């Protein structure tokens, strides 16, 4: 028993020592269980393999006193081999199964139920894709001439997959810069509808949000919803003070369903990005991330309440005629939103009766377009989904906008770039339009600027020259040009185009003869005129001067110092290569790898030469002194080569 305990203790100490030495020599941290496995294997291989082989001449006899130094040197060499064997196993293991590829054992059963649900949903999505013949698309076998059939299959699959995928299709239906027209037409048929949940399930959610029994806050609450979608449904109610409100209630479990589906969409996007060229060219990973961010905001009603407050403040600054509902934040939370009920009817359904109200359809449509453009170009926050269901004609003749769960935002720089793009279109200036597109987009690695300018110039000659009849279909050609030159439009500007494309259907429903391009030009001219007014110009100049004032204050002193330095011959310029610490680390790592590789190669070559030398002093009966030095150098070369390989494998894993 004592011998067993001593043997186990010796094994533990030796294993720890081997693991420590291997880790220090490789300069890489590995998991404990991986170190234990390779250390035990290295120790076992030395104990039962290498030692008996090298010391076989002394199996049946004791070494002579003259042979003892050589035997001791061999023993030392053998024990040095133990961590080297462990290092070889670690490097091979890292190459085959990188660190992190397998989750730690302590996490195998953590969140097991959630992983099972996600896997079940993932298999369900794959089954839907297979049922509609989409597995070939996921594997990158998209063939020309099959777009119409593939578009129908995709639309049916998205419809069967549920809320998240339906909304994904609805967003893709407006991305004219990414998809052919046949896909846009099919995805536009997707409708976000769902069976309503009963009032008995709604009332507890509302009471939790308002923090009181429902009868204490509402004089009337209609349990039957007026609209029901896959994420939320809307009820009408009247507060105790007599104000008419609407109550928007999120469906129970909607957030969990959305998060689970977003994870699947992210995985599918990663698969398409890795295995298909068209997925990489469309930046499906960026699309998936942008969609996830937008949908998470739509699920959280506190975001919509904040959007309503920001839009209302922007409207108040410029005295907009469009009305947005006022949220009751004290009665709302992330699952329930209580807001003002606007008195009116859907705008599209009231289009035929506008004349009876003394309103001209063209004037109403133009006012709506100007409002959206003002939100984009003046406010910087705009309604990103102005479909007919979100537009109302109020009893007082004004237009009402509801459902601000999805908004777009443009900062000042993007608004200026968008205005430059519109001005280039209005002037039919191809080079200016190309510069504006490249300025607001992600520039591809290889861009044929001349070809882009010519294509844009030809496009504007066909669609915007005098006598041409521009319509919304011209945007399809424009987006084809953008896609051909691999220019990626920022998501913020894509939201602008999506909003305008969504709005176009409502405008033509109000006035079938409405000229969107002409009215947009008129609105743009009005915006330019407002910016050129003395007050606006003064404000713009003051903003620019405020930004330039710190620089202007320091400029005279700097010019004086430059003049003095030039006069005295002390003017010089310093060029600092690798000023960034990250660049220095990269170069240092490369130099280390190159140096270790050269030393490993030199040591290995010298080791082979020494091992091949015959004769010379004998260390033992079997091994000469030169061979011993050669084996030692071979171990040194192995350590350096393994260090380089370990560094390469671990760094490539971090990049992935």
List residues with catalytic annotation. 385
State how far Cα 548 lies from the chain centre: 35
Q: Is 50 exposed, middle or buried (0-12, 13-18, 19+ CB in 10 A)?
A: middle
Tokens found for residue 96: 């085959």
Tokens found for residue 358: 């003394």
d(CA 15, CA 32): 11
3-state secondary structure at position 276: coil
Q: Is 578 left (phi over 0), alpha (psi -120 to 50) or beta?
A: left
d(CA 17, CA 249): 62
Q: Report yes or no: 418 and 377 within 8 Å, Cβ to Cβ.
A: yes
Question: Strand 244-250 and strand 232-239: pairing?
Answer: antiparallel
Looking up tokens 């004998």 gives: 618
What's the alpha-carbon Rg for the chain, to the nearest Å? 36
First to last CA, the chain: 50
d(CA 510, CA 367): 12
Angle, in degrees to the nearest 10, between helices 449-464 and 430-440: 120
d(CA 11, CA 380): 69
Reported in sequence order, the residue ranges of 267-378 that DSSP labels E, i.e. its strands, are 336-340, 344-346
- Of the candidates 399, 325, 410, the one whose C-alpha atom is nearest the C-alpha of residue 366 is 399
Distances (CA, A) of 134 to 122, 130, 159, 221, 618: 15, 6, 14, 46, 73
- Of the candidates 160, 243, 249, the one whose C-alpha atom is nearest the C-alpha of residue 203 is 249
Distances (CA, A) of 342 to 36, 50, 86, 337, 345: 70, 87, 74, 15, 9
Q: Report yes or no: 211 and 205 within 8 Å, Cβ to Cβ.
A: no
Tokens found for residue 524: 């743009």
Q: Report yes or no: 655 and 39 within 8 Å, Cβ to Cβ.
A: no
d(CA 536, CA 388): 34
Tokens found for residue 5: 């305990």
């Amino acid at each position: 028993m004592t011998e067993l305990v001593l043997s186990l203790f010796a094994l533990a100490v030796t294993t720890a020592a081997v693991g420590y030495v291997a880790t220090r020599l490789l300069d890489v941290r590995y998991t404990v269980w991986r170190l234990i496995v390779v250390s035990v294997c290295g120790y076992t291989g030395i104990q039962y393999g290498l030692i008996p082989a090298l010391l076989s001449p002394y199996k049946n006899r004791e070494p002579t006193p003259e042979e003892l130094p050589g035997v001791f040197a061999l023993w030392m060499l053998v024990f040095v081999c133990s961590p080297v064997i462990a290092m070889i196993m670690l490097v091979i293991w890292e190459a085959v199964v990188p660190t992190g590829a397998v989750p730690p054992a302590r996490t195998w059963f953590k969140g097991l139920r959630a992983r099972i649900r996600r896997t079940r949903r993932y298999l369900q999505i794959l089954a839907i894709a297979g049922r509609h013949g989409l597995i070939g698309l996921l594997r990158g076998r998209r063939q020309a001439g099959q777009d119409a059939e593939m578009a129908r299959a995709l639309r049916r699959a998205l419809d069967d997959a549920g809320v998240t995928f339906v909304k994904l299709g609805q967003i893709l239906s407006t991305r004219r810069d990414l998809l052919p027209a046949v896909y846009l037409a099919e995805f536009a048929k997707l409708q976000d509808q769902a069976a309503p949940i009963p009032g008995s399930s709604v009332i507890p959610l509302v009471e939790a949000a308002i923090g009181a029994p429902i009868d204490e806050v509402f004089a009337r609450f209609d349990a039957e919803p007026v609209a029901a979608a896959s994420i939320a449904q809307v009820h009408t109610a009247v507060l105790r003070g007599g104000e008419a409100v609407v109550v928007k209630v999120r469906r129970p479990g909607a957030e969990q369903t959305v998060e689970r589906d977003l994870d699947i969409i992210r995985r599918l996007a990663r698969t398409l990005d890795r295995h298909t060229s068209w997925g990489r060219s469309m930046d499906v990973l960026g699309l998936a991330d942008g969609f996830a961010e937008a949908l998470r905001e739509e699920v959280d009603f506190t975001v919509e309440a904040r959007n309503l407050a920001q839009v209302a403040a922007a409207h108040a600054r410029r005295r907009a005629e469009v009305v947005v509902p006022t949220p009751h934040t004290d009665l709302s939370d992330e699952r329930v939103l209580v807001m003002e009920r606007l008195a009116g009817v859907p705008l599209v359904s009231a289009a035929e009766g506008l004349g009876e109200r003394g309103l001209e359809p063209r004037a109403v449509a133009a006012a709506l377009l100007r409002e959206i453009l003002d939100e984009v170009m003046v406010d910087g926050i705009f309604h990103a989904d102005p479909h007919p269901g979100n537009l109302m004609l109020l009893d007082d003749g004004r237009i009402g906008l509801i459902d601000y769960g999805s908004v777009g935002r443009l900062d000042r720089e993007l608004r200026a770039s968008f205005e430059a793009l519109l001005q280039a279109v209005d002037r039919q200036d191809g080079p200016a339009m190309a510069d504006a597109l490249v300025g607001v987009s992600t520039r591809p690695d290889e861009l044929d600027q001349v070809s882009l300018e010519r294509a844009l110039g030809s496009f504007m000659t066909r669609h915007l020259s005098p006598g041409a009849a521009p319509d919304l279909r011209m945007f399809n050609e424009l987006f084809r040009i953008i896609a051909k030159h691999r220019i990626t439009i920022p998501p913020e500007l894509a939201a602008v185009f999506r909003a305008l494309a969504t709005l176009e259907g409502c405008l033509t429903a109000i006035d079938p003869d409405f000229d969107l391009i002409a009215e947009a030009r008129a609105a743009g001219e009005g915006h330019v005129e407002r910016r050129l007014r003395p007050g606006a110009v003064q404000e713009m100049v003051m903003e620019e001067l405020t930004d330039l004032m710190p620089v202007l204050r320091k400029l005279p002193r700097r010019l004086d110092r430059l003049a003095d330095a030039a006069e005295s011959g002390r003017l010089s310029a310093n060029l600092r290569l690798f000023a960034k610490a990250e660049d220095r680390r990269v170069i240092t790592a490369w130099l280390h790898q190159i140096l270790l590789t050269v030393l490993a190669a030199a040591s290995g070559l010298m080791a082979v030469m020494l091992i091949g030398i015959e004769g010379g002093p004998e260390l033992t009966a079997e091994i000469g002194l030169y061979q011993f030095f050669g084996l030692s150098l071979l171990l040194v070369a192995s350590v350096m080569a393994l260090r380089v390989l370990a560094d390469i494998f671990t760094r490539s894993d971090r990049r992935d």
